[in-house]
């Protein structure tokens, strides 16, 4: 079904402790150009955190496509089409400073299906296998990612190139996405569940040899402390969101005299249900919510 090009002007009624909720007209009429961050859940908040450190004066419009959460379990062609439609819709309503697909699965889906927006100011997040090989001292590398990322043509090609210089274990860890969502929603997560998940892909002896881990999903840095206990020999943890945030910060041109207080706005594509991400967005300073009708 085509995505309707309408922003609902009614803020989510369940958004707590928010005394400054705006309607969509205020958002669209604002002279301030935001950086648009898109993901299906809270994973993109790891990139927001990096960007805020580099450019705290920038406003951020976060598109949380929770109606399609998680992207990693969906057909990649459908994800590519869905995200392109969402971006088209949002970018007809705002004039962004930059647009970033803060999801490895989606970024690679766009690459694999020839939908990469070759427009200046568009950024993708993908697992940097080449950089990981260069950083690894012993050539023992774990790639934590979603099944969609692991199975992609883009990553298959990168793994084939890396095999001559390093041993890379691709671990399809979709469950980590859900656990990171639970953690940011202040729900308990089990370390034993994490351990069982990793051990089902990689024997303990080999896991203990890993010296470099690629966080191939923007959700995974939320679980970094837990993951470090599972890979005690890993001295290098590669989070591609850091490099992308640097690229965004260096590319955007900002006239500080025209900027008001930076806004943090999140748009959901459906009303949050039992998996409630609002707690996480509130903790990151997002104070307004809108429903993007799909």
Angle at 146 between CA 45 and CA 2, to 5 degrees: 75
User: Exactly one of 8, 81, 91, 103 is catalytic; which is it?
Assistant: 103
Is-contact 22 219, C-beta < 8 A?
Answer: no
What is the DSSP track for 150-184? HTSHHHHHHHHHHTTT-EEEEEE-HHHHHHHHHHH
Active-site entry in 8, 91, 193, 217:
217
Coil, helix or strand at residue 226: helix
Q: Is 91 a catalytic residue?
A: no
Q: Which parts of the chain are beta strand (E)?
A: 35-39, 60-64, 98-101, 122-124, 140-145, 167-172, 212-215, 236-238, 264-268, 288-291
State the Cα–Cα distance between residues 263 and 270, nearest whole angstrom: 21
Q: Are the C-beta atoms of 112 and 80 separated by less than 8 Å?
A: yes
Quote the CA–CA distance of 149 and 145 in Å, as a whole number: 6
Question: Would residue 81 show up in a list of annotated catalytic residues for this protein?
Answer: no
- Among 21, 215, 22, 197, CA closest to 102: 215
List, by residue number, the catalytic residues.
103, 217
């Amino acid at each position: 079904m085509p995505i309707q090009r309408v922003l609902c002007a009614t803020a989510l009624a369940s958004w707590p402790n928010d005394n400054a909720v705006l309607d969509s007209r205020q958002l669209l009429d604002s002279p301030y150009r935001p950086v648009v961050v898109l993901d299906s859940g809270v994973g993109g908040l790891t990139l927001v955190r990096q960007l805020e450190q580099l450019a705290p004066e920038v406003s951020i419009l976060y598109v949380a496509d929770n109606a399609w959460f998680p992207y990693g379990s969906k057909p990649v062609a459908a994800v590519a089409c869905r995200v392109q439609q969402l971006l088209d819709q949002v970018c007809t309503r705002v004039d962004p400073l930059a647009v970033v697909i803060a999801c490895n699965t989606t970024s690679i889906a766009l690459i694999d299906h020839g939908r990469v927006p070759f427009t200046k100011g568009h950024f993708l997040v993908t697992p940097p296998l080449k950089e990981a090989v260069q950083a690894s001292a012993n050539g023992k590398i774990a790639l934590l990612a979603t099944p969609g990322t692991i199975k992609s043509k883009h990553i298959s090609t990168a793994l084939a190139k890396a095999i001559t210089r390093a041993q890379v274990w691709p671990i399809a860890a979709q469950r980590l996405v859900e656990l990171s969502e639970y953690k940011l929603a202040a729900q308990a997560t089990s370390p034993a569940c994490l351990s069982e998940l990793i051990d089902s892909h990689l024997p303990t002896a080999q896991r203990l040899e890993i010296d470099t881990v690629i966080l191939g999903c923007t959700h995974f840095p939320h679980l970094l402390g837990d993951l470090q206990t599972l890979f005690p020999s890993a001295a290098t943890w590669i989070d591609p969101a850091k490099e992308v945030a640097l690229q965004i910060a260096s590319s955007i041109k900002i006239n500080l005299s025209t900027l008001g207080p930076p806004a943090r706005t999140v748009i959901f594509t459906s009303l949050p249900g039992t998996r409630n991400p609002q707690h996480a967005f509130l903790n990151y300073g997002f104070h307004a919510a809108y429903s993007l009708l799909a």
